[in-house]
Amino acid sequence: MFYVQRDASGHLRRVEVMPFESMTNTLTADSDEIQAWFASQNLESNLMQLKQSDLDMIRVVDDLVHLLISKGVIRITDLPAAVQTKLLTRSQARESLGGLHSLINADERGII
């Protein structure tokens, strides 16, 4: 049994396993609405994980490009103008926050 709260349109707004003050209804675990709710919640959670992973990967790619430039493997002018602008903008923003090194978490030190 699940305790639910619906919005004005009748859509599920909140689902809990225990009764709560603003609940408006109950549904069984095999209810199509409950199944859809949990599928949606799982999808939302996965999308949030992917979004965070994207942000982490942006940082990795940014650092990798800077490393390749500093080692002379590539030149910034080898990259398309739009990429150059984005890299320079990110570099300026990171520098204004205290440089690249201050953004590395303590647990990331020594990885590369």
Q: Over 70: is that where the pLDDT of 88 sits?
A: yes
Rounded CA separation 1/27 (Å): 6
Average predicted confidence (pLDDT) for the chain: 85
Residue 44 has pLDDT above 80, yes or no: yes
Provide the residue type at 99 as one letter. Answer: G
Q: How confident is the model at residue 104 (pLDDT cuts 50, 70, 90)?
A: low
DSSP-derived 3-state class of residue 10: coil
Give the pLDDT mean for 3-24: 91
CA 53/CA 18 separation, integer angstroms: 33
pLDDT at 110 over 70: no
Asked if pLDDT for residue 92 goes beyond 60, the answer is yes
Residue 111 has pLDDT above 70, yes or no: no
Rounded CA-CA distance 28/34 in Å is 7
Q: Where do the structural domains in the chain lie, given as residue ranges?
A: 51-108
What is the DSSP-derived secondary structure letter of residue 74?
Answer: S
Residue owning tokens 């002379």: 72
User: pLDDT tens digits for 17-34?
Assistant: 999 999 998 999 999 998
Pair of tokens at residue 62: 């940014």
pTM: 0.49
> What are the structure tokens assigned to 9, written together?
């349109």
Angstrom distance (rounded) from CA 86 to CA 51:
19
